[in-house]
Structure 1
Amino acid sequence: MQKSKHYLLIETLMKRIRMDDSETPTIQQEFYRLEAGLSGEQKLKRLLTDFYFKSDFHIFYNFECKNSNGFTHQMDALLLTPNFLLIIEVKQISGTLFYKPSLHEFFRVQDQLNENFPNPFDQAYRHQLFLEHQLKTWQLSIPVYHIVVLANYRAKLDESLNNFPIMHMSGIPRFIEKLYKQHPIPRAHLTFLQKQFEQLYEPLPPRRTIEKHRLRNGVLCKQCDYVNEMYYKQGYFICPVCRAKSKEALYETLLQYRILVSPRISNKAFREFFNIPCIHIASKLLAKAALEKHGTNKGTYYIIPERFD
């Protein structure tokens, strides 16, 4: 399952934010929400992997793009078939869910507490209108639908949600079958559709940034859940607490710097972030990482790739 850039930033920030930072509890709560959402999308992927489609198909998970006005769209899943398109919004919500359609108010009641949520129908309908417009620009006439699915089977749907496009995830196969019956005739070639959407796809930047001084420096021990700082000796980063030895910690820490700070890093910035005061050891580690090098002398900097193979 492909993680968004925002998810990666929050996930990495959880390991690096200072515990005394005023926003630490907020960031933790956001990470738990994102983690629950990703879990729901993974459940959907498992369900659809076991479904027998009546045509060729392609599914984009976490489809992101911008419209012609520069506004963003993020869809948990986008199902392409030659017969129809389906936008699937996954919600990992518990409690009893209610809807006031005249007010477009979507809320839940749990433990005698009322809590409002962004209206998922308005969100999904906005995506639907965008896709319908986009298909017209490609001179295609394909029906587009949206559905909100609940990944938490304990959630209850109040009668106020009758006749609205929302259901528990287990109902998705029957819903797709119904769409095939409604639209038995193909309207486009799947290969063309897929190519157009691949060109439209654009990973969105994180929805927030973090100042460098609010991050913990040092190479943090993965075995200790990033609590303890490791030291470098004879080619390894070593944890003084659990005694774990790692060469991979070099690459993991570089990726953390890329996600939280910048894809560009200098020798000085490397020493500060890794807590390695020796310029020669820093140069040796940068050479070991085989980063793309630019500039000369004090203007030298390195490019950290999105991943290390």
Structure 2
Amino acid sequence: MLIKNHEVPLALLKLASIKRRLPSTHPKYQKIFNDWALYNAGYRGELALDYYLHRFNQPENYMLHSLRLHHKQTFQIDTLILHPNFFLLIEVKNLSGKVNFDHGFGLMTRENNGHVQSFQDPIIQAENQAFLLQNWLINFGVSGVPVESLVVFVNNHVHLTRSDEQHVDPRIIHANKLADTYNQLHQKYPKNLLPTQKLRVIGQKMIQENKPLQANPFQKYQLTRKAIQPGIICPICDFTPMKRYHGYWKCDSCGHSSTFAHIDALKDFYLLFNDQITNREARWFFQIDSRKVARNLLIKLSMVGKNKGASYQLDFNTERDFTYLLSTKEKDQAGYSLVQ
């Protein structure tokens, strides 16, 4: 039973918004692009895992996605299955190319199109997450339940290899082996340890204590507001800025016109700067001069002006309102898999 769905990472949305408003010549652009690609691939990998998890969506299981818990330190879990006999923690990897493991040195390398990258052995990460989860459970009064970890690769274009004659840790699998591995765990732990009602209580407590990451990319990348390019971005060709005519926006590059193109700009402002916007800030971000036009555009969105109209409240939902930032139309210049 699914009790917590995936969350769109706020860090991903903020990076996507910055990426499309930062000149490609900016010294931090490539770093931001690479980090965005990594977040994007990770998020899409978590979604891709759902295809393989559907058979586990049964009444005796409680499934949670995108958990970020804290007990002495913060830890993140991609997917967690609470079973009466055991708990299964799944770390998702969405990499393509040749992936090599050296468990002796605690390393994983990925080679793709002649480009080699090094990562920490994901087993170390998974074991650390399992340890922290066990501590969290003990603090909640739950002990004696086995916590198993799996590192699951979801991309069909990945080749998993090993260094020398070492065996790849059996907890590292491709997604198509997930069902078999789950059945093996069921055979390994035949004893029912927790009633279904207790699993629900544990799951609800995890949802209650879930703390999504609040990212501050301006601080992380040492950016200033001046680095961000204002203006209405054309949803068709990305040209900036679209010009304001009587009642609509028009792109001078492709000729596309839109009545509502400024809404995505307000969403960008919400992610990057503040959940309130003044008329002056709106005119700067829309790249228009008319105070009246800016006021009318804000009022039409039912945004409430505060302090005699000094500022307007922006109210957007990160799970629902930012699909325009989750497009996969860009090439994977960073070497990660963005599209399954």
Q: TM-score over 0.5 for the alignment?
A: yes
Distance 1:201 1:242, change over 3 A: same
**Letter in structure 1 aligned against 2:119:** F
1:232 corresponds to which of 227, 235, 244: 244
Judging changes above 3 Å, is the alpha-carbon distance between structure 1 residues 7 and 114 closer, same or farther for their aligned structure 2 residues? closer
CA distance 1:107–1:268, change in 2 (3 Å): same
Specify the alignment match of 2:41 in structure 1. 36
| TM-score, normalised relative to structure 2 | 0.81
Pair 1:306 & 2:311 matched: no
Normalised TM-score (structure 1)? 0.88
Secondary structure of the corresponding residue to residue 293 of structure 2: helix
Sort the Cα spacing of 1:149 and 1:232 in 2 relative to 1 into closer, same or farther, 3 A: same
Structure 2 regions of 5+ residues with no counterpart? 1-5, 322-340
Name the residue aligned to 1:165. Answer: 171
Identity %: 23
Show structure 1 runs of 4+ deviating over 4 A.
Answer: 52-55, 109-114
Q: Structure 1: how far apart are the matches of 2:213 and 2:249?
A: 34
**Counterpart in 2 of 1:180?**
186
Higher RCO (CA 8 Å, separation ≥ 6 residues): 2
Distance 1:53 1:270 in 2: 46
Q: What is the rounded CA distance, in whole Å, between the counterparts of 1:288 and 1:26 in structure 2?
A: 38
Count of aligned pairs: 303
Q: Which residue is equivalent to 2:155? A: 152
Which of 284, 289, 309 is residue 296 of structure 2 equivalent to?
284
Following superposition, the deviation at residue 164 of structure 1 comes to 4.3
Change (3 A) 1:113 1:233: closer
In 1: Cα distance, 2:31 partner to 2:304 partner: 36
| Residues 93 and 155 in structure 1, CA contact (< 8 A), matched pair in contact too | no
Secondary structure of the residue aligned to 2:203 is helix
- Return the alpha-carbon distance in structure 1 between the equivalents of residues 200 and 129 of structure 2: 22
Q: Is the 8 A contact 1:60 1:79 kept in 2?
A: yes
Note if contact 1:55-1:82 (Cα within 8 Å) is conserved in structure 2: no
CA distance in 1 between counterparts of 2:255 and 2:56 reads 50
CA contact 2:241–2:287 (8 Å) conserved in 1? no
Corresponding residue for residue 133 of structure 2: 131
1:248 to 260, 264, 275: 260
The 1:110/1:256 distance shift into structure 2, 3 A limit, reads: closer
The residue aligned with 2:325 is: none
Partner of 1:76 in structure 2?
78
Structure 1 unpaired stretches of 5+: none
Q: 1:100 to 1:20 in 2, by over 3 A?
A: closer
SS in structure 1 of the partner of residue 108 of structure 2: strand
What do residues 145-168 of structure 1 show as CA deviations (whole Å, max 9, x unaligned)? 111111233322225343442011
What's the Cα RMSD here? 2.3
